[in-house]
Copies of this chain bind each other. A is one copy, B any other.
Amino acid sequence: MQKYEKYSSKLAIFVKNEYFYILNSFTMNLKLVAGIDIGGTNTTYGVVDNHGKIYGEGSFLTRKYMDFDLFIQALAEGVNALASDIHEDYELAGIGMGAPNANYYTGNIEFAPNLMWSGVLPVAQKLKDRFAGLPVVITNDANAAAIGEMIYGGARGMKDFVVVTLGTGLGSGFVVNGELLYGHDGFAGELGHTIVSPNGRECGCGRHGCLETYASASGIVRTVYKLLADHRGDSILKNISFNELSADMITQAAINHDPIAIEAFAHTGKLLGLAIANMIAITSPEAVFLFGGLVRAGEHLFTPVKEHLEANLLKFWKGKVALLPSELNDKTNAAVLGSAALVWKEIKEK
């Protein structure tokens, strides 16, 4: 009898353990995070696993909510609506967010000129309040893109690299020794606001000659107009007004051999190549990834950037630092993936 009880008790423990093990592997083992990208125009969000599989996505116009608390409410409802559509049991393990002027250290969006809410916005705390204390990690969109590249893209296995995002402006995320370079205040990585031409083009930041006034979607539009002013000869771009002209049109024109469009990419590449070479002199990365719509121009962009990058590198770096298109360029939801990667990285390190 005593013997039987002993075995029975062991069996009970075994059965109990197995039960939880099985429960764990079939139900609770699926962990997902929410990835959120707040842009001046759109806010997009998704629910993503560790391998970059997206279980659901949504978006709305950021400007729809003049009140920041209503914006947070809409965002939380959006994420919860996605969650209820997933027909598997899972655990929501965290929330990652990329947003303009988002500060990793404080969890606040601080004085973002491209958002309509002014001042300091405690976005991480407000999301924690709505999601029962889940870990919330925020940073700017370029830093999120860099972590996205490291977790899901071409920088897997790299410890020192840079992602340069060529959007309306120019953003950059620096990974140094496997960690994002946040700097003393959380705002490191403003390559777009290094001054490449003192007394040069007027910038949205109030200064002149910032790299992003040349090397970005808005910068290349300005370059096309400069070239049209300076040169004769024909170009399809002569039929388009400044306000209508987009970087996509210039990209398409370059692909169709338009000489002004090709020259505009060459000029962009000259300044961007030098700026990247100077940045390599400071941080010595293994690779530099270019992300954004301009990358679709392919060799029209990469050939001049590479040429001027190599020409301006110190001898011992020549030919050694890879210049690559971001592997997230092909994904429509790169921003959501980047934001999800941001929190996945922290969860894994715990």
Contact = CB atoms under 8 A, between A and B. Distances in A.
B182 A281 contact: no
Nearest to A311: B207
Contacts of A312: 195, 198, 207
A205 B282 CA distance: 16
B195 A283 contact: no
A194 B164 CA distance: 18
A312 to B, nearest CB: 6
25 contacts: A111-B316, A172-B282, A174-B282, A176-B181, A176-B183, A177-B179, A177-B181, A183-B285, A184-B285, A186-B284, A187-B284, A188-B282, A190-B282, A190-B314, A191-B282, A193-B314, A194-B278, A195-B278, A205-B315, A206-B315, A207-B312, A207-B314, A278-B278, A279-B282, A282-B283
A277 B195 contact: yes
Interface in A273-322: 274, 277-279, 281-286, 312, 314-317, 320
Contacts of A174: 282
A316 B120 CA distance: 13
A189 interface: yes
A172 B205 CA distance: 28
Contacts of A189: 282, 284
B315 A184 contact: no
Interface in A12-38: none
Contacts of A207: 312, 314
Contacts of A281: 190-191, 193-194
Contacts of A205: 314-315
A320 B190 CA distance: 16
Interface of A: 110-111, 159-161, 172, 174, 176-177, 179, 181-191, 193-195, 198, 205-207, 274, 277-279, 281-286, 312, 314-317, 320
A193 B282 CA distance: 9
Interface centre among A186, A277, A312 (most CB of B within 10 A): A312
A140 to B, nearest CB: 12
A312 B193 CA distance: 9
A320 B110 CA distance: 16
A284 B191 CA distance: 11
B284 A184 contact: yes
Contacts of A285: 183-184
A317 B176 CA distance: 22
A314 B182 CA distance: 16
A174 B205 CA distance: 26
Contact of A188 (B187, B206, B277, B283): B283
A177 B198 CA distance: 31
A281 B207 CA distance: 13
Given A181-B176, A206-B315, A312-B195, A188 B274 contact: no
A198 B308 CA distance: 11
A113 to B, nearest CB: 10
The 5 closest A-B CB pairs, nearest first, are: A183-B284, A188-B284, A184-B286, A194-B278, A160-B184
A217 B128 CA distance: 54
Nearest to A314: B193
A279 B183 CA distance: 11
